[in-house]
Amino acid sequence: MKTGGSPYGTHRVISPKGVLPQPADKIDNDMEIWDNEVLIDVKTLNIDSASFTEIVKRVLNKKPAEVETQEEMDAIGAKMMEIVANAGKHKNPWTGSGGMLLGTVEQVGPAYKGDLKVGDKIATLVSLSLTPLRIDKILAMRPAIDQVDIEGKAILFQSGIYGKIPEDMPEKTALSALDVAGAPAQAAKLCQLNQKVLVIGGGGKSGLLCLYEAKKRVGPDGLVVCAAGSQKSEDRARSLDLAHEYFHMDATDAVGMYNKAMELTNGELFDVVINCVSIENTEMGSILSCKDDGTVYFFSMATSFTKAALGAEGVGKDVNMIIGNGYTKNHADVTIQVLREHEGIRKLFEEMYA
């Protein structure tokens, strides 16, 4: 067994040398572990929404929800296996993002420091874009929810965070929530009493969780608005009573978003805007909807830093913009607790993902 590996996994980087595993073009996915690593028997890959949407678009020129035939799924699976074969990890070559996985601990290196033991069921909370992965076989695919069951192995570095799957809910329900754990946890930190909060993409997985946390934090005199991408998504959020106001609109329509924000806030705009949309060009709709000195949290991996930074400058907006860091302290606990507290969200997640 090899020893002396970096806790951050730099010993696995093949090219370019000197970088961390996430920005690396290629990493070593040999499944013989170093003494400070954990080997995982992988059951399910939960590809991040922006990544899966882009893969399906590139392969089939469709949206994930439109994928129906086994032939189409095989084509998507072939592209995923090609990505892993080339990079040693599932890093989308167009979005740069990955996702996460569900699996069982198979081996723990003797120098690994942590509470994991063989047999633990875990969801990794670090991106597949930095996780050494080997896909031996694709068993099943659920395109509408970005999940792919496989036979394969993965490596967790010493620095890699994870969540143990709770015993009081189905594995894939927990996985689907933990995949976006950073979003509701950040919402819990950002949203404060009496604020006006807009969640763009509020009818989606991360959006629903953010709406719940936002409404919980702003109190009875605050305002939480759900901006959904379709009538169906709007109805989903409305049925769970997660916001005070609801509407649906193309989030790439920046002027339309701004006008709607002005209407709903009597010209004051929002204190906090949370963007959970998995498509490009929604930066300016978010920025224009936020008041000066307010905060825009871009959770979406489809966000362009350049478009957001230069766009805000171009319209003279002094807003605080937060990159969608998928990690914040106790984010797994916060997210699982939402499923425990809100029966409607939990039932929906079980219906959609379990």
Q: Give the end of a domain, one of 109, 133, 165.
A: 165
The torsion defined by the Cα of 305, 307, 310 and 316, in degrees rounded to 10, comes to -110
Q: Give the end of a domain, one of 104, 131, 165.
A: 165
- Indicate if 123 and 209 belong to the same structural domain: no
Q: Which domain holds residue 316?
A: 182-353
Q: How far apart are CA 197 and CA 183, in angstroms?
A: 14
Q: Could you tell me if 237 and 243 are in contact, meaning their C-beta atoms sit under 8 angstroms apart? A: yes
Q: How far apart are CA 141 and CA 76, in angstroms?
A: 9
- Indicate if 155 and 191 belong to the same structural domain: no
Residue 151 β-bridge partners: 137
Quick check: is 103 in a domain?
yes
Q: Over the chain (354 residues), what is each successive 10-residue block's mean pLDDT? A: 95 96 98 98 94 96 94 97 98 94 97 96 95 98 94 97 91 89 95 98 96 97 97 97 98 98 98 94 98 96 92 97 86 94 95 81
Quick check: is 48 in a domain?
yes
- The predicted structure's pLDDT at residue 353: 79
First to last CA, the chain: 38
Q: Left, alpha or beta for 146 (phi > 0: left; psi -120 to 50: alpha)?
A: left
- Indicate if 267 and 316 belong to the same structural domain: yes
- The predicted structure's pLDDT at residue 206: 94
**Of the candidates 109, 96, 160, 108, the residue with the CA atom closest to the CA atom of residue 131:** 160
The total number of structural domains that make up the chain: 2
- The 10 Å CB-count burial string (b at 16+, else e) for 265-293 is beeebbbbbbbbbbbbbbbbbbbbbbbee
The DSSP secondary structure of 56-73, one letter per residue, reads HHHHHSS-GGG--SHHHH
SS3 call for 84: helix
Quick check: is 267 in a domain?
yes
- What is the chain's alpha carbon radius of gyration, rounded to the nearest angstrom? 20
Quick check: is 303 in a domain?
yes
Q: How far apart are CA 178 and CA 206, in angstroms?
A: 10
**Of the candidates 46, 70, 49, 48, the residue with the CA atom closest to the CA atom of residue 60:** 70
Q: Could you tell me if 67 and 56 are in contact, meaning their C-beta atoms sit under 8 angstroms apart? A: yes
> 127: burial class by Cβ within 10 Å (0-12, 13-18, 19+)?
buried
Quick check: is 171 in a domain?
no
- Indicate if 53 and 186 belong to the same structural domain: no
- Indicate if 159 and 288 belong to the same structural domain: no
Q: How far apart are CA 333 and CA 338, in angstroms?
A: 9
The torsion defined by the Cα of 187, 192, 195 and 196, in degrees rounded to 10, comes to 10
Q: CATH number of the domain that 190 lies in? A: 3.40.50.720
- Indicate if 72 and 132 belong to the same structural domain: yes
Q: How far apart are CA 151 and CA 142, in angstroms?
A: 15
**Of the candidates 150, 101, 160, 129, the residue with the CA atom closest to the CA atom of residue 26:** 129
- Indicate if 36 and 108 belong to the same structural domain: yes
Quick check: is 331 in a domain?
yes
Quick check: is 174 in a domain?
no
Element (H, E) at 307: helix 305-314
- Indicate if 195 and 249 belong to the same structural domain: yes
- The predicted structure's pLDDT at residue 50: 87
Stated length of the chain:
354
- Indicate if 152 and 188 belong to the same structural domain: no
Quick check: is 118 in a domain?
yes
Q: How far is CA 112 from CA 147, 233, 239, in A?
A: 29, 43, 46
- The predicted structure's pLDDT at residue 278: 85
The DSSP secondary structure of 159-215, one letter per residue, reads T--EEEPPTTS-HHHHHHHHTTTHHHHHHHHH--TT-EEEEETTTSHHHHHHHHHHH
The identity of residue 109, as a single letter, is G
- Indicate if 156 and 218 belong to the same structural domain: no
- The 10 Å CB-count burial string (b at 16+, else e) for 98-112 is bbbbbbebbbbbeeb
Listed in sequence order, the residues at least 6 apart from 118 whose beta carbon sits closer than 8 Å to its beta carbon are: 105, 106, 107, 108
Chain Cα centroid distance, residue 314: 29
- Indicate if 118 and 240 belong to the same structural domain: no
- The predicted structure's pLDDT at residue 164: 92
